[in-house]
Amino acid sequence: MPRLDADRHRPTPVEAQSEDGAEELSRWGIDDLWEAQRNLQAALAEARTQLRWVQELVPRRLPILIRENEAGLGVIQGVRLKERRPLPGSDGLQPWVVVDSGNVYVTTKRLVFSGVTDIEFEFDEIDKKGASRTGLLLGVSSRTQSQILEGAGERLAVVLTAAEKIAQGLDPTAPFREAISWLTSEIESVESRLHPPADTRAITSRAGDRSASAP
């Protein structure tokens, strides 16, 4: 679970459930609490989006040849395939360039990029993986050159991991459900400090009045 605190030197809300953490969290200023709330809400929205992507992976027909003991799961449209190509006159530089565009089909065994040409990424052969919000870099043992699937990098990474879990007979939604439950609980914890119950505020106010009027 990523750290979602407003300041890396402050405890996250979940750390604050410990005795020491609770005391530290009680010293957070109002600005820290608002920032923590924003971070938690952003992470919750992201987790819900990722869960939706995973839930969309269901057995379906795909316009590619499906092998024995394999099932089609989904499609991601508008993906660009990038490869390293030599740059003329650059003394060996090989920048990433777009060489094709199309869709990525997801099965229980592989990702298939389908454009002018088809490129397969067998789960069992993937030996290099790197994801960003814009692209998913993949390398397979049967090819010397890695490739980037660009256009939906974060979604492709989530879907790839989920499809691998489905192939192993595991529930791909479990990590996202757990994250959503945890984040929801922490948001409630922060909100309870931002908006304490009315009776608590009244008790605090009366205590302050008595202290001010004391001789």
Domain ranges of the chain: 55-167
- Report the pLDDT value the prediction gives residue 14, as an integer from 0 to 100: 45
- Report the pLDDT value the prediction gives residue 13, as an integer from 0 to 100: 45
- Report the pLDDT value the prediction gives residue 2, as an integer from 0 to 100: 42
- Report the pLDDT value the prediction gives residue 24, as an integer from 0 to 100: 53
**Which position has the token pair 């067998």?**
122
With residue 139 as reference, give the H or E element that holds it.
Answer: strand 135-140
Nearest to 163 by CA among 78, 105, 101: 105
- Report the pLDDT value the prediction gives residue 25, as an integer from 0 to 100: 54
Give the span between the Cα atoms of 34 and 66, in whole angstroms.
Answer: 50
Assign 97 to helix, strand or coil.
Answer: strand
Assign 80 to helix, strand or coil.
Answer: strand
Q: What is the DSSP letter of 152?
A: -
Question: Which residue type does 66 have?
Answer: I
Q: What is the pLDDT of residues 76-124, one digit of tens each?
A: 999 999 999 888 877 778 889 999 999 999 999 999 999 999 999 999 9
- Report the pLDDT value the prediction gives residue 10, as an integer from 0 to 100: 45
- Report the pLDDT value the prediction gives residue 63, as an integer from 0 to 100: 96
- Report the pLDDT value the prediction gives residue 27, as an integer from 0 to 100: 63
- Report the pLDDT value the prediction gives residue 203, as an integer from 0 to 100: 47
Domain 55-167 annotated CATH 2.30.29.30 = yes
For the entire predicted model, the pTM comes to 0.76
Within the chain, which residues score under 50 in pLDDT? 1-19, 21, 200, 203-204, 206-208, 210-212
